[in-house]
């Protein structure tokens, strides 16, 4: 990383900016507006809430949580992780308000710390976003396989699950080609689907079953099926369920160039999506755990999806299939929102010449004002990231860890650089005031801890099948980013970082 002083502009000693025309603000940051600003504040909140998606993250990793600490770690871990993530979100929202661009995290880091800070932040952010698409859509494929198993006796295999996964990726690519207005509408529907879905699942599991687990079981039962002897180590690994679910709220920042009053709306979207998901997720996890009828049967469910077994045991086949459909639709909403966020990151990174073939990936459709090639690249790379699932039963855990250890450090870097900049940082209209530093340092510390945690092996003994490949993926991306830096360092750069905004004709050439 560059050790040069932060490249914050001298005018950053000014007081917080007031609300202004967002297109004008974008030009001040060095970019010609080419995306359609058709998303409102609720739509911006909705995309992050949809990406966090407690009906995706909590449900797909519930089986992982059953063996890595069990109920106690899932419930208390959710409460604790949610609090720390809220600190990360608050600190990130403050920086987002100052720099509302599609590049989001890497643009902030470049502006506050210099080119190399921005470069590595961008590659980490990109790895996390693409890993998130793979994790979300593969989770949806697993749940779809479980539904088909209950409905038609279909027996899911790694190959058939992967084919379902590819079909879901294709669906999300096509939906994203119709423009941000459709994406915004789907995300708005998604919010109410998630809220209603959680209420329906928790209500049904509370009312219908004759037997429920005790309060003591739900909040104190510790289960260790990892092979590791140290309970603290196991509990730490078990936090992956919560930390993985609480990823993706940077989507509000990535869609800021398509959001009205983005300097305020994108910041609020980040914070609101976290606390709303925090409450909904706790209710969902508690509802599921209270309704467990046979712990061993749930953990080893023939459906391949433990929540499906909870539904089946507690509600019968008809109720289980109905709730599985609710979850699958929510996961599809989630994956669609994540493709939107990732494609905007690809577009923005290419706009600043950071990717191989940038001239292709930054092109925008003149009809829909959507970065079409960026959408296709996002789903294609996500498909490649999930390929190990064909050969390893533990690969899905690794894919989710790739998401966490890629995107989580990328959240902390602009927060750290904002703290390092001190009074030279010019806050946007949404800011934390005197709470900025304490919340910021809590956020940076938490990210440092979880980044190390999720590079550690999750199963013992560590074999080719059980090792955590996320750390290898992280290392490969950092090596490739370092190698590509020497090829692209002369052409890469954000306009604001240099004060030499790109010629608008060059950007216009990317509109097809």
Map 261-325 to HEC letters: CHHHHHHHHHHHHHHHHHHHHHHHHHHHHHCCCCHHHHHCCCCCCHHHHHHHHHHHHHHHHHHHH
For residues 224 and 233, give the distance between their C-alpha atoms in angstroms, rounded to a whole number. Answer: 10
| Percent of the chain residues topping a pLDDT of 90 | 55
pLDDT at 9 (0 to 100):
37
Q: Report pLDDT digits (tens) over 150-179.
A: 888 888 888 999 999 999 999 999 999 988
Q: How many residues are listed for the chain in this entry? A: 512
pLDDT at 58 (0 to 100):
92
Of 350, 407, 335, 359, which Cα lies nearest the Cα of 173? 335
Q: Report the mean per-residue pLDDT for the chain.
A: 87
CB 497 within 8 A of CB 115: yes
CB 43 within 8 A of CB 456: no
pLDDT at 504 (0 to 100):
35
pLDDT at 319 (0 to 100):
94
Q: Report pLDDT digits (tens) over 292-341.
A: 999 999 999 888 889 999 999 999 999 999 999 999 999 999 999 999 98
pLDDT at 38 (0 to 100):
83
CB 125 within 8 A of CB 479: no
Of 416, 346, 425, 410, which Cα lies nearest the Cα of 382? 346
In angstroms, how far is the first alpha carbon of the chain from the final one? 36
Longest Cα–Cα distance in the chain:
69
Q: How confident is the model at residue 396 (pLDDT cuts 50, 70, 90)?
A: low
Q: Report pLDDT digits (tens) over 196-220.
A: 999 999 999 999 999 999 999 999 9
Q: What are the structure tokens assigned to 2, written together? A: 């560059």
CB 341 within 8 A of CB 375: no
Q: How confident is the model at residue 394 (pLDDT cuts 50, 70, 90)?
A: low
Q: Report pLDDT digits (tens) over 90-147.
A: 999 999 999 999 888 999 999 999 999 999 999 988 888 898 898 889 989 999 998 9
Q: Pick the more confident residue, 419 or 57.
A: 419
Q: Pick the more confident residue, 463 or 56.
A: 56
Burial class (CB in 10 A: 0-12, 13-18, 19+), 508: exposed
Q: How confident is the model at residue 30 (pLDDT cuts 50, 70, 90)?
A: confident
For residues 99 and 443, give the distance between their C-alpha atoms in angstroms, rounded to a whole number. Answer: 19
Tell me the helices (H) and strands (E) count for the chain, helix number first: 23, 2
pLDDT at 290 (0 to 100):
97
Q: Report pLDDT digits (tens) over 326-340.
A: 999 999 999 999 999
Alpha-carbon distance values, 50 to 22, 126, 149, 187, 323 (Å): 24, 19, 27, 6, 18
Q: Pick the more confident residue, 403 or 306.
A: 306
Place of tokens 């279909």: 154
- The answer, yes or no, to whether residue 2 has pLDDT greater than 50, is no
Mean pLDDT within 495-501: 46
């Amino acid at each position: 990383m560059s050790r040069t002083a932060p490249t914050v502009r001298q005018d950053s000693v000014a007081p917080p900016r007031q609300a202004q025309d967002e297109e004008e603000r974008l030009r001040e940051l060095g970019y010609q507006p080419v995306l359609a600003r058709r998303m409102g504040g609720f739509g911006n909140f909705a995309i992050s809430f949809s990406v966090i998606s407690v009906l995706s993250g909590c449900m797909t990793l519930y089986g992982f949580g059953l063996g890595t600490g069990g109920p106690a770690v899932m419930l208390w871990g959710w409460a604790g992780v949610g609090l720390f993530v809220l600190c990360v979100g608050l600190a990130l929202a403050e920086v987002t308000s100052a720099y509302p661009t599609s590049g989001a995290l890497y643009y902030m880091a470049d502006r506050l710390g210099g080119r190399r800070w921005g470069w590595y932040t961008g590659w980490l952010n990109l790895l996390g976003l693409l890993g998130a698409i793979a994790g979300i859509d593969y989770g949806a494929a697993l749940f779809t396989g479980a539904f088909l198993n209950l409905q038609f006796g279909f027996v899911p295999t790694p190959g058939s699950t992967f084919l379902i996964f590819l079909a879901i990726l294709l669906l999300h690519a096509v939906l994203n080609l119709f423009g941000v207005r459709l994406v915004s509408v789907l995300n708005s529907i998604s919010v109410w689907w998630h809220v209603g879905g959680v209420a329906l699942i928790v209500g049904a599991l509370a009312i219908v079953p004759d037997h429920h687990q005790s309060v003591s079981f739900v909040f104190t039962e510790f289960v260790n099926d990892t092979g590791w002897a140290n309970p603290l180590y196991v509990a730490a690994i078990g936090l992956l369920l919560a930390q993985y679910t609480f990823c993706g709220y940077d989507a509000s920042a990535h869609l800021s160039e398509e959001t009205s009053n983005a300097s305020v709306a994108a910041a609020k979207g980040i914070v609101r999506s976290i606390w709303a998901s925090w409450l909904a997720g706790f209710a969902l996890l508690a509802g599921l755990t209270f309704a467990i009828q046979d712990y061993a049967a749930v953990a080893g469910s023939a459906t391949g999806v433990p929540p499906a077994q909870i539904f089946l045991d507690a509600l019968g086949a008809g109720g289980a299939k109905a709730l599985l459909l609710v979850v699958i639709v929510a996961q599809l909403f989630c994956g669609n929102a994540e493709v939107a966020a990732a494609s905007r990151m690809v577009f923005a990174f290419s706009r600043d010449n950071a990717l191989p073939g940038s001239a292709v990936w930054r092109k925008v459709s003149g009809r829909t004002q959507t970065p079409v090639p960026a959408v296709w690249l996002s789903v294609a790379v996500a498909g490649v990231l999930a390929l190990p699932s064909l050969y390893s039963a533990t690969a899905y855990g690794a894919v989710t860890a790739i998401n966490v250890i890629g995107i989580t450090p990328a959240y902390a870097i602009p927060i750290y650089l904002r703290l390092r900049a001190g009074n030279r940082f010019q806050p946007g209209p949404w800011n934390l005031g005197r709470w900025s530093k304490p919340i910021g340092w809590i956020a940076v510390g938490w990210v440092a801890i979880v980044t190390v945690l999720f590079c550690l092996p999750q199963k013992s003994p560590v074999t080719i099948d059980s090792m955590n490949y996320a750390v290898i993926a992280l290392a490969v991306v950092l090596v490739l980013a370092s190698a590509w830096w020497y090829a692209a360092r002369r052409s890469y750069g954000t306009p604001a970082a240099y004060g030499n905004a790109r010629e608008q004709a060059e950007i216009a050439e990317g509109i097809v």
